[in-house]
Structure 1
């Protein structure tokens, strides 16, 4: 059984039992591979939702967990929690000070030939409901992302004036932590992430849904690297791709 078949079997078993995939755990931290479409915690903005990472993980391991960072609802991948409020108070400032190295993978529109660093400040995105009383005129904040192309593909499906469509697999490393930074930065480069309904290309999103059954944002938090604040050991936590990602990797004949 190859790596992709192993991942598909593992993911189907987790989904069947409604378990989260725990990818790291010691006496101080626990990390899961967050599924796309799942909220990290309860929110009054999503009162109809019934499953949340924080509550599901708490029930799964039988103890309280304390979120240290967040992933947007449509993003999958590494999500780290502290197992006590004391550890959370130590680790949370490390995220604020960017002592955690985050690596993401994304599929974007078009071909990116060379990697680079994008230093493009972003204004805070306001939620229409949650931020309706916030000041609209705000200064743009520093936002920096390193990006590197890994693979590309041209498919025989048109989404416009050309008979084919082109896509790239990219590695993204955010050096700051602004809201929707990676999605907004890739859109600024005119290489929006596939499945992004806010900043992306509707025709190409529809192609991925209809032809490739990829009805999700193609953004995955692949790894988290840091120095353990208690043991002082280097830690690398990696999260595997879900079945949608694995299907596209196979269809596009990409090697990961």
Structure 2
């Protein structure tokens, strides 16, 4: 489970912003946005937890992968959900992600690479490709580069980049698939990542290594007041601990 308190009940979610129309949380890694038929037997999910925590129904207007942490926006009324959903569809919401990726990325770039639709197969943990490819655009830039004393395969050290990504589209696993496409897969990604690097970090002591992708910031125009809402989600402990380890070692500026 993504987290329980000492009484065995699900721990409250961190609220980053709340008013009478919407709420933004810092979603933990490992937590589903809502229960589905593909996750039978699981009682915990963001929607169900927030229903109890806030004492009212909430409506998700976008999604984060289960393993992705960070800023998640939910509406508190059907009308707010409709307006926010329209904003997401028209790409007026700024979504900024941070990721730890394999290799040293030297400069900013854009991945403009169409992606086929992925649908999870019922009762299985794998996806099948359906339909035609759709446009997908990801802007990325390196924030820092690291070289850690962790042997990876035949290499004596592990090279990583802290990356910022902004997406113009919202295809399933878009950042993960695009970073794999440019040969800089995300650390901890068991589907699109580098198994040698993932294994090396787990063997080095990061045994609970998960997908190192964090929804760092959300920025949008409030659907009722017209004010600008700009919220940053702090790194969770596992992401921050790994970053702290990398910064303590040789950092490539």
1:170 aligns with 2:149: no
Aligned-residue Cα RMSD (Å) equals 2.2
Where structure 1 has 5 or more consecutive residues not aligned to the other structure, the ranges are 1-11
Which residue pairs with 1:186 in the alignment?
179
Is the contact between residue 22 and residue 74 of structure 2 (CA under 8 Å) also seen in structure 1? yes
Match of 1:235 among 226, 229, 248: 229
Q: Any conservation in 1 of the 2:150–2:201 contact (CA below 8 Å)?
A: no
Q: Deviations over 1:103-126 (max 9, x none)?
A: 000000010000111111111123
Report the secondary structure of 2:131's partner residue: coil
Shift of 1:207: 2.0
Asked if the contact 2:117–2:130 (Cα under 8 Å) also holds between the matched residues in 1, the reply is no
In the alignment, the residues of structure 2 paired with residue 212 and residue 253 of structure 1 have an alpha-carbon distance, to the nearest angstrom, of 16
TM-score by length of 1: 0.89
Question: What is the SS of the residue equivalent to 2:116?
Answer: coil
Q: Which has the higher strand share?
A: 2
SS at match of 2:209: coil
Task: Measure how far apart 1:248 and its partner are.
Answer: 1.2
Q: What does 1:123-162 align with in structure 2 at a 5 Å threshold?
A: 123-129=116-122, 138-162=131-155
Which residue of the other structure, out of 218, 225, 228, is the alignment partner of 1:224?
Answer: 218
What are the Cα deviations for residues 143-174 of structure 1, in whole angstroms up to 9, with x where unaligned? Answer: 00000001111112222222111011000001
When structure 1 is superposed on structure 2, of 210-219 and 196-205 the one drifting more is 210-219
State the alpha-carbon separation in 2 of the partners of residues 52 and 137 from structure 1.
26
Aligned residues: 241
SS of the residue corresponding to residue 247 of structure 2 reads coil
Cα pair distance change 1:136/1:174, threshold 3 Å: closer
In the TM superposition, what are the counterparts of 1:71-90 in structure 2 within 5 Å? 71-90=64-83
Asked if residue 68 in structure 1 is aligned to residue 64 in structure 2, the reply is: no
Q: Cα–Cα, structure 1 residues 127 and 232, in superposed 2: closer, same or farther, change >3 Å?
A: same
Partner secondary structure for residue 94 of structure 1: helix
Is the 1:66–1:84 contact (alpha carbons within 8 Å) kept by the matching residues of 2?
yes
Alignment of 1:47-58 (within 5 A): 47-58=40-51
| Displacement of 1:15 | 5.7
Shift of 1:249: 1.7
**Does residue 200 of the first structure (1) align with residue 196 of the second (2)?**
no
Three-state SS of the structure 2 residue aligned to 1:247 is helix
